[in-house]
Structure 1
């Protein structure tokens, strides 16, 4: 009888150990692990809105559907220098302080290269736009559904007409 009790307790302990990491996760943190950037969930959601404004959902998936905001965060966190990461953080803080209508106007103005924009915010938008477009063009959806690739040197056509010179 003691053996059954011991096995039951071990299984309960193992189940608790599996659930423990989800209980200890800090609420409000970004949904991916970042080493250099300190981004909270609200900032991540606003970044998702901005990427969705850059590549909206039509008959093809938009930026939110492809999770391009996470790609932008990971690329800035891993591949950019500390100075550029600080510019990104300052620009994101600036954009987060704006209301939704002002945010849309910011994206329109930044895309039109208006002169009255804050320098860090403009650089932030350029980083986000570049990484969003790059992530979209390299996404699984685009590479498998929109781009038709053929292996080099291409298909062989034995009946291709050849002109004599």
Structure 2
């Protein structure tokens, strides 16, 4: 009878230790662990809205539902040089300030039409930090969408090379 009690207590303790890191996460920090970037929850939500504006929800899931903003952050953290990371983060801050100055409210509170207009203007913006930010954001959002589990399993039917054998395929003679 004592062994069962000890085993039960050990399992409860192990479960508690497994959950402990998620409880110790700092409030206001990003939901994923990043090595080189310091992203706040507000910035992460802004990136989610930008990604959702680039790939909106229709009959298919949008960027927010597929969590493409987290993909962008992880790719930026793992695969980009430190200079590009700094440029991206300064571009994100500049984008936030530009939106607040232009509309006197945050990007999240704008209508879809206004969001699309801002991103369209951003493609032609001469400021290097804004253009670098938007280029990385757009490229990685599209990359993440095309390589997402949803697209690869539901929209594109992947067939391993060389494909099926069709013995009745008509062949033209030379």
- TM (norm. structure 1) is 0.83
Aligned to 2:35: 35
Instruction: Give a deviation string over 1:5-28, Cα, whole Å, max 9, x none.
Output: x96xx67x9376555434432100
Task: Tell me whether 82-91 or 152-161 shows the greater mean CA deviation.
Answer: 152-161
| Residue number in structure 2 paired with 1:105 | 117
Give the RMSD, CA atoms, in angstroms: 2.6
Number of residue pairs the alignment of both structures matches: 158
How far is the alpha carbon of 1:163 from its aligned partner?
2.8
Gaps of 5+ in 1: none
TM-score normalised according to structure 2 size: 0.79
Segment drifting more, 143-152 vs 20-29: 20-29
Query: Which runs of no fewer than 5 residues in structure 2 stay unpaired?
Result: 100-105
Within 5 A, what are the aligned runs for 1:3-18?
Answer: 14=13, 17=17
In structure 2, the CA distance between the partners of 1:16 and 1:49, relative to structure 1 (3 Å rule), is same
1:89 aligns with 2:89: yes
Matched, 1:136 2:160: no
Task: Identify the residue that residue 124 of structure 2 maps to in structure 1.
Answer: 114
Asked which structure has the greater CA Rg, the reply is 1
Q: Indicate which of 141, 147, 170 corresponds to 1:161.
A: 170
